């Protein structure tokens, strides 16, 4: 029996009769905070290149994956085998240059092909200018994703964004300068009693709305 199977049996035992009261009480929703915490701790070990602790934190994240699959199996929805099968099939399907015919030479070509295959797979889903983002995505990553879509689709930047200023700042920044400026903005917001996370998320949503209104006015299929 593999160690993955052993771990599945352990979690099933914790959930089963005579198991652990805490584990028996958990639901998909109650485990969300645990998942966020464990992923955050894993990211910390990656940032520090702490490989011994990375192995431990990968295990803690794996517990979360198996725990959610166990809950779903108990409810008759799916099990860990279904999860692994589906993601494995997706990897093979989206890498035809490896598992099929045709070769790609650069990672940029791979990303373009991935998005094309993904779009075909999701054909029939509601279309829009912007790819839906996870609601829990941090505001900074959300803003970055929206700006990426604006550039990728060749959309005109709305009045809420000074595109020329963005280009000028991009030419002046390096990682250290970016980190310092972001920290200074966060500290200044704290001093004024402002919420930088909320402010950036609201501004990004406004940018999206402005772009979509502009595209609709020009006859682009924004919805």
Helix (H, G, I), strand (E, B) or coil at 49: coil
Helix (H, G, I), strand (E, B) or coil at 185: helix
pLDDT score recorded for residue 222: 41
pLDDT score recorded for residue 223: 34
Total number of domains in the chain: 2
pLDDT score recorded for residue 128: 64
Of 90, 122, 152, which marks where a domain is finished? 90
Of 29, 55, 90, which marks where a domain is finished? 90
In a domain, 77, yes or no: yes
Same domain as 146, residue 84:
no
d(CA 121, CA 130): 17
Same domain as 7, residue 67:
yes
In a domain, 125, yes or no: no
d(CA 38, CA 54): 11
In a domain, 29, yes or no: yes
Helix (H, G, I), strand (E, B) or coil at 138: coil
Q: For the range 188-196, what are the long-range contacts, defined as Cβ-Cβ under 8 Å and sequence gap of 24 or more? A: 196/139
Q: Name the nearest CA neighbour of 38 among 21, 20, 62.
A: 62
For the domain that residue 16 is a member of, what is the CATH number?
1.10.287.1080
Of 50, 70, 90, which marks where a domain is finished? 90
In a domain, 107, yes or no: no
pLDDT score recorded for residue 221: 45
In a domain, 203, yes or no: yes
Mean pLDDT by 10 residues, the chain (223 residues): 93 96 95 90 94 96 97 97 96 92 88 84 66 76 87 80 86 90 93 90 89 74 40
How many C-beta atoms lie closer than 10 Å to residue 150's C-beta? 20
What residue numbers bound the domain in which 191 lies?
A: 139-217
In a domain, 109, yes or no: no
User: Residues, the chain, total?
Assistant: 223
In a domain, 108, yes or no: no
In a domain, 116, yes or no: no
């Amino acid at each position: 029996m593999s160690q993955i199977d052993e771990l599945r049996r352990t979690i099933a035992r914790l959930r089963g009769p005579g198991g652990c009261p805490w584990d028996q009480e958990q639901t998909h929703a109650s485990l969300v905070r645990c998942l966020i915490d464990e992923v955050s701790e894993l990211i910390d070990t990656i940032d520090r290149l702490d490989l011994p602790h990375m192995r431990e934190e990968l295990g803690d994240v794996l517990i979360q994956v198996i725990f959610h699959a166990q809950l779903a199996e108990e409810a008759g929805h799916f099990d860990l085998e279904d999860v692994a099968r589906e993601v494995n099939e997706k990897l093979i399907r989206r890498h035809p240059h490896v598992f099929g015919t045709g070769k790609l030479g650069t990672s940029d070509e791979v990303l373009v092909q991935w998005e094309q295959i993904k779009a075909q797979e999701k054909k029939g889903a509601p279309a829009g200018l912007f790819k839906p983002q996870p609601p829990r995505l941090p505001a900074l990553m959300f803003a970055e994703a929206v700006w990426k879509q604006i550039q990728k689709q060749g959309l005109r930047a709305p009045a809420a964004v000074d595109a020329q200023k963005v280009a000028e700042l991009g030419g002046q920044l390096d990682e250290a300068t970016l980190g310092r400026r972001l920290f200074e903005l966060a500290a200044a917001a704290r001093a004024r009693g402002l919420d930088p996370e909320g402010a950036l998320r609201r501004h990004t949503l406004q940018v999206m709305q402005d772009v979509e209104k502009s595209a609709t006015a020009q006859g682009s299929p924004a919805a």
